[in-house]
């Protein structure tokens, strides 16, 4: 049984990831003007939160009190996609939240919401939607702050080994790609320092809800995501990390839930 102090710490920690993604947004915006429009960001956040409230009420029969997850999804969508109009931000956020309530197995969603929405729109509407492509450039202080905070958060969430497995695997496959295509190793590994990857390694691939149940399984999934990403990059897929997680993560989660017959049919966390 958890003590009152443990309960307080747990309740406090649920607000840390939203604060972190807000800091990432502020650093990116103040340093590079990462957002195309504040209106688009607001649209994605508001859509995510309203969709979360309504779908929770009408599908699960309860009003969802904690909207931290929806806030993170909305911010992620606002950062990760680029579009000249507002509707892609609304649709992407809506798809992301809907995936939590529609694409479920044994009472659990199997796709990371942000990954689902962003991947779907990038693949299905390439003429209207693009992905974030800027780098941090020479802003090493901002990058250091993001990495330190991010590593502390995934450590607290007991997912640090997932992030490290993916990063090490990415570096290995970057070196392999440099040998195959004749590009420089630095050119192949440099995307890892961009803001897109900060969201990917600290929020998407480490998502506790859509992770498999064992440590060994999580390590295997992180490695497989990096491996599939490498193959997709060799085939010139620009948004390879999103597609790789989109393909690998749900299959792994489905197999894990199917194998683990003791998993109860629970509502959304």
Give the pLDDT of residue 93: 98
Give the pLDDT of residue 5: 53
Beta strands in 88-164 (DSSP E): 104-105, 108-109, 130-131
Give the pLDDT of residue 262: 59
Give the pLDDT of residue 134: 67
Give the pLDDT of residue 124: 95
Give the pLDDT of residue 157: 85
Q: Which residue has the tokens 């502390």?
A: 152
Distance CA 93, CA 117 (A): 6
- The residues of the chain scoring below 50 in pLDDT are 1-2, 6-7, 266-267
Distance CA 262, CA 269 (A): 18
Give the pLDDT of residue 139: 63
- The domain limits of the chain are 4-259
What would the two tokens of residue 100 be? Answer: 């939590």
Give the residue from 170, 165, 190, 206 showing the smallest Cα distance to 21. Answer: 206
Give the pLDDT of residue 267: 46
Give the pLDDT of residue 196: 84
Q: Which residue has the tokens 């090490």?
A: 168
What is the chain's length?
269
Give the pLDDT of residue 181: 94
Give the pLDDT of residue 156: 86
Give the pLDDT of residue 195: 79
Task: Identify the helix (H) or strand (E) that includes residue 114.
Answer: helix 113-124
Distance CA 95, CA 91 (A): 6
């Amino acid at each position: 049984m958890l003590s009152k102090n443990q309960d307080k710490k747990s309740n406090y920690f649920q607000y840390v990831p939203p604060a972190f993604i807000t800091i990432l947004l502020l650093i990116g915006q103040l340093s590079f003007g990462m957002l195309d429009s504040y209106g688009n960001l607001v649209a994605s956040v508001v859509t995510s939160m309203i969709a979360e409230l309504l779908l929770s009420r009408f599908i699960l029969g309860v009003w969802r009190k904690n909207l931290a997850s929806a806030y993170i999804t909305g911010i992620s969508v606002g950062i990760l996609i680029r579009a000249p109009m507002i509707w892609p931000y609304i649709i992407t956020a809506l798809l992301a939240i809907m995936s939590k309530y529609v694409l479920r197995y044994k009472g659990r969603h199997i796709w990371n919401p942000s990954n689902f929405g962003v991947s779907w729109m990038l693949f299905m509407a390439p003429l209207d939607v693009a992905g974030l492509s800027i780098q941090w450039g020479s802003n090493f202080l901002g990058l250091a702050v993001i990495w330190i905070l991010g590593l502390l958060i995934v450590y607290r969430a007991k997912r640090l080994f997932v992030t490290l497995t993916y990063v090490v695997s990415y570096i290995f496959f970057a070196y392999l790609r440099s040998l195959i295509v004749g590009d420089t190793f630095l050119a192949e590994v440099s995307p890892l320092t961009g803001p897109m990857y900060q969201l990917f390694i600290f929020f998407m691939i480490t998502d506790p809800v859509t992770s498999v149940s064992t440590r060994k399984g999580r390590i295997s999934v992180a490695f497989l995501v990096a491996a599939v990403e490498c193959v997709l990059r060799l085939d010139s897929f620009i948004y390879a990390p999103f597609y790789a997680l989109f393909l690998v993560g749900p299959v792994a989660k489905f197999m894990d839930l199917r194998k683990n017959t003791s998993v109860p049919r629970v509502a959304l966390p």
